[in-house]
Amino acid sequence: MDVSISPSTVDGTARAPPSKSYTHRAILAAGYAEGAVVTDPLLSADTRATARAVEAFGGTVEIAADESRLEVDGFDGSPAVPADVVDCANSGTTMRLVAAAAGLVDGTTVLTGDESLRSRPQGPLLDAIADLGGRGESTRRNGQAPLVVTGPIAGGTVAIPGDVSSQYVTALLMAGANTDGGIRVDLETELKSAPYVDITLDVLDAFGVEAERTADGFAVEGGQRYDAGGEYAVPGDFSSLSYLLAAGAIAAPDGLTLEGAVPSAQGDTAIVDIVERMGATVDWDREAGTIHVSQSPLSGVTVDVGDTPDLLPTIAALGAVADGETRIENVEHVRYKETDRVSAMAEELAKLGATVTEHEDELVVHGDESDLVGARVDGRKDHRIVMALSVAGLVAAGGTTVEGNEHVDVSFPDFFDVLADLGTTVRR
């Protein structure tokens, strides 16, 4: 489906949705436990896929009528053989976390997903499962889903690359606590997206599981039990907040107030500093969890997204509005998301009149040479591309039509409702 955005100003107050990253981990952690209540979860297409996986392993997940809480009856560290194929839909996080959980099963689990997910790399995780005493196979022998995982794994030491996905580390640490011997993960290359592992350590700690950094990577002892003490509350999502913060920086002359911005282990809190460095007026009350942002002339900056890959689309959109060059560095791993987000933003911003130079490991947006004009752009079936292009549409002369608005359901289901409430002219 298409969404059309007209040039608009925004004002008022909006709340960041709950964190997708924390919600995934909390649902699975509650599954590993006897159970727990997860409060303030993000219920999106991706996190619902993780909930279905917990149920496939023998747990149950009940959603409150107002979607404010999930009551999870877990499988207590012993996942059962699923009765059917586990469909992870478009969620790479689900597939990787669940593949490692499948390694604990005394039997075989088959995992698949949509066309996009079936193109994403899983080979290092499959190799790790095999090194731990299980079997991990790609049905097409290309390291991509569908996957067949047979356990149980006993634990041990594995070496994996750190520059493909931090989710491999997360998956192994979460499963490792329920093995007999624990799991030590040695990194063969520098860890990209490291703050996402910090999120994992934060959630593990909240569920009573001890994991630690080592000289070469991470380790978790075996024989541990997950226990959150009854409830676990999910913090707000700074990845999703980035689009609202960007909207305020380019289209809120009277200011925009964002709630739910409580500090956490999320690396994407960096977006607050980035927007401020570009010249927007930003006031973050960390204790209250509120950010006030006002439109100001923006200037290009240089940003390394090695630890914050999900921010690339937002930064690129801001760069198309800013004066001077915005250089986004260390981007190669961002090509292995729901789509190649580097090429996608380069090509789609160009349709809007931006001048963008794409390199293998860098994206340069030439704001001085860009004059945004409304056009029809392709969201590439990627929630982050759709939202970033929609933000750019706020200041593109004429109307901007973005294809695939339904894909925001992955992480920010009411994104367009929020934009409309803030004063944006939105037609779907």
Single-letter code of the amino acid located at 22? Y
Chain position carrying tokens 């956490």: 264
pLDDT at position 288, please? 95
Mean pLDDT of 10-16: 95
**For 399-412, how does the pLDDT look when each residue is reduced to its tens digit (9 = 90+)?**
999 999 999 999 99
pLDDT at position 267, please? 95
Count of CB atoms within 10 A of residue 207's CB? 23
Q: Are 75 and 32 in contact (CB under 8 A)?
A: yes
pTM for this entry: 0.89
Single-letter code of the amino acid located at 42? L
Catalytic residues: 310
**For 21-52, how does the pLDDT look when each residue is reduced to its tens digit (9 = 90+)?**
999 999 999 999 999 999 999 999 999 999 99
pLDDT at position 169, please? 98
Single-letter code of the amino acid located at 399? G
Peptide bond into 82 cis (omega under 30): no
Domains of the chain from N-terminus onward:
2-17+236-427 (3.65.10.10), 20-221+228-233 (3.65.10.10)
| Cα(98)–Cα(109) distance, integer angstroms | 10
Please check the confidence at residue 357 and state whether its pLDDT lies above 90: yes
pLDDT at position 271, please? 98
Q: Are 163 and 191 in contact (CB under 8 A)?
A: yes
Single-letter code of the amino acid located at 396? A
**For 188-222, how does the pLDDT look when each residue is reduced to its tens digit (9 = 90+)?**
999 999 999 999 999 999 999 999 999 999 999 99
Please check the confidence at residue 16 and state whether its pLDDT lies above 90: no
Mean pLDDT of 224-251: 97
Give phi and psi for 407, each to the nearest 5. -75, -10
Q: What percent of the chain has pLDDT over 70?
A: 100
Please check the confidence at residue 423 and state whether its pLDDT lies above 90: yes
**For 166-181, how does the pLDDT look when each residue is reduced to its tens digit (9 = 90+)?**
999 999 999 999 999 9
- The pLDDT-based confidence of 381 (bands split at 50, 70, 90) is very high
List, in order, residues 6 or more apart from 250 with CB less than 8 Å away: 295, 298, 318, 321, 391, 394, 395
Q: Residues within the annotated binding site? A: 20-21, 25, 92, 120, 165-167, 193, 310, 337, 341, 384
Q: Residues within the annotated binding site for phosphoenolpyruvate? A: 20, 92, 120, 167, 341, 384
For 235, the token pair is: 């913090």
Mean pLDDT of 261-266: 93
pLDDT at position 355, please? 98
What dihedral angle (degrees, nearest 10) is formed by the CA atoms of 30, 36, 37, 43? 10
**For 276-333, how does the pLDDT look when each residue is reduced to its tens digit (9 = 90+)?**
999 999 999 999 999 999 999 999 999 999 999 999 999 999 999 999 999 999 999 9
DSSP state of 132: T
Q: Residues within the annotated binding site for 3-phosphoshikimate? A: 20-21, 25, 165-167, 193, 310, 337
**Mean predicted lDDT score pLDDT of the chain:** 97
Selection from 363, 365, 362, 308 nearest residue 337 by Cα: 308
For 308, the token pair is: 């914050």
pLDDT at position 361, please? 97
- What is the chain's Cα-based Rg? 21
